[in-house]
Structure 1
Amino acid sequence: MITLGYWNVRGLGQSIRFLLAYLGVEYNSKVYSTAEEWFGKDKNNLGLEFPNIPYIIDGEFKLTESSAIPIYLLRKYKRADLLGFSNDGSYSEREVRVAQLIGVIKDIYKETIPVCFSPDFDKIKDQAFAKGEVLLKKLVSFLGDKEFLLSTLTYADFLLYEVLCYYKYIYPQAITPTLTAYMNRFENLPGIKQYIANPSINLKAFLPTFKSTWSGPQ
């Protein structure tokens, strides 16, 4: 069984957790509650080539980096269509469209996450989130009246949903009716709906409290 290791927060691990829920994959969740658990114990003792979290361990196979783990999972469970790949392995424009959207969404992350770690969070958050909103508006325009970014679900939607959750709490004026409907569709996907409904899962813990100024809604 796969083990997924990450902090006891959403952070870079949540889109992977959602993906596993959507794929219906059972896995062990190794949760790190303190810095000492990771940095003082497991980081250099798990045999990871590039020690970092999130990580997955699947038998003898070990992998880190939040950009690589979804690719492994989608290939392993034969859902490369969520990366835009054709079933027969031939080139598809869709695969580069997915990659493009992932890049755009990560650019929004770059404007979003550092603000949450700043000691001046309350002073700078509106200005910083407004910068990300410029790209977000382009994504809203791209989405249009489609159910998902490329009409049918791709991994880019998992990442966008996670960004939108930050905006929902920190800069809610950016969440348009179109985005609210989009988030509702994502939340009602098979597997994800059941995951969200699980009372043992805390989806309001976004970032580690020992590192961030804003770690989630109170």
Structure 2
Amino acid sequence: MITLGYWNARGLGQSIRFLLAYLGVEYTNKAYSTPEEWFGKDKNNLGLEFPNLPYIIDGEFKLTESQAIPIYLLKKYKRVDLLGLSNDGSNSEREVRVAQLTGVIKDIYKETLPVCFSPDFDKIKDQAFAKGEVLLKKLVSFLGDKEFLLTTLTYADFLLYEILCYYKYIYPQAITPTLTAYMNRFENLPGIKQYIANPNINLKAFLPPFATWSGPQ
């Protein structure tokens, strides 16, 4: 069984958890509650080539980095369509579009997550989130009246949904009716709907408790 290691929070691990839920993959969720659990124990003792969170361990195979893990999972479980890949391996414009959208969304993450750890969170959050909103507006325009970013679901949608959850709580004025409908569609996907409804899963812990803003109170 696959083990997914990450903080006991959503962070960069949540889109991977959603992906596993959507794929119907059973896994062990190794959640680190304190820095000591990771830095003082497992980081240098798991045999990871580039120790970092999140990580996955699949038998003898070990992998880190949030960009690489979804690629491994989608290829392992034969859902390369979510990466935009053609089944025959031929060149695909859709694959490039998924990569482009993933890059744009990660740019929003880069504007968002550091703010949540800043001691000046309350002073700078509006300015920082407004900067990310510029890219969000472009994504809304790109989405248009489609169900998902590229009409049918891709991994880019997993990333976009997760960052929208941050905006929903911290900068709700950015969540347009179009984005609300989009989030509802994602939340009702098979596997994800059941995951969200699971009372044993805490989706209000966005970041580890040592972040200034770790989630809604």
TM-score (norm 2): 0.99
Mapped to 2, the partners of 1:121 and 1:168 lie a distance apart of 16
Cα deviations across residues 152-191 of structure 1 (Å, max 9, x unaligned)?
Answer: 0000000000000000000000000000000000000000
CA drift at 1:116: 0.4
1:5 aligns with 2:28: no
SS in 1 for 2:126: helix
1:214 and 2:174 equivalent? no
Q: Hey, what's the Cα distance between the residues in 2 that align with 1:12 and 1:53?
A: 8
Residue 16 of structure 1 aligns to a residue whose secondary structure is: helix
Deviation at 1:91, TM superposition (A): 0.5
CA offsets per residue over residues 116-136 of structure 1, 9 Å max, x none? 011110011001100000000
Work out the CA distance in 2 between the residues paired with 1:111 and 1:4.
Answer: 26
Q: Which runs of 4+ in 1 moved over 4 A?
A: none
1:133 aligns with 2:133: yes
Q: In the TM superposition, what whole-angstrom CA distance separates every residue of 1:58-117 from its partner, at most 9, and x where no partner exists?
A: 000000000000000000000000000001110110000000000000011111111101
Cα displacement (A) at 1:209: 1.0
RMSD across aligned C-alpha pairs, in angstroms?
0.4
Q: How far is 1:53 from its partner?
A: 0.8
Q: How many residues align?
A: 217
3-state DSSP of counterpart to 1:44: coil
Q: Helix, strand or coil for the counterpart of 2:167?
A: helix
Alpha-carbon distance in structure 2 between the residues aligned to 1:54 and 1:112:
18
Q: Counterpart of 1:165?
A: 165
Per-residue CA distance 1:16-63 (angstroms, 9 max, x = gap): 000000000000111111111111110000000000111000000000
Once residues 110 and 51 of structure 1 are traced to their aligned partners in structure 2, the CA distance between those partners, rounded to angstroms, is 21
Counterparts of 1:106 and 1:52 in 2: how far apart (Å)? 18
Q: Quote the Cα distance in structure 2 between the aligned partners of 1:216 and 1:126.
A: 16
Q: 5+ unaligned residues in a row in structure 1: which ranges?
A: none
Give the whole-Å Cα distance in 1 for the aligned partners of 2:85 and 2:112: 29
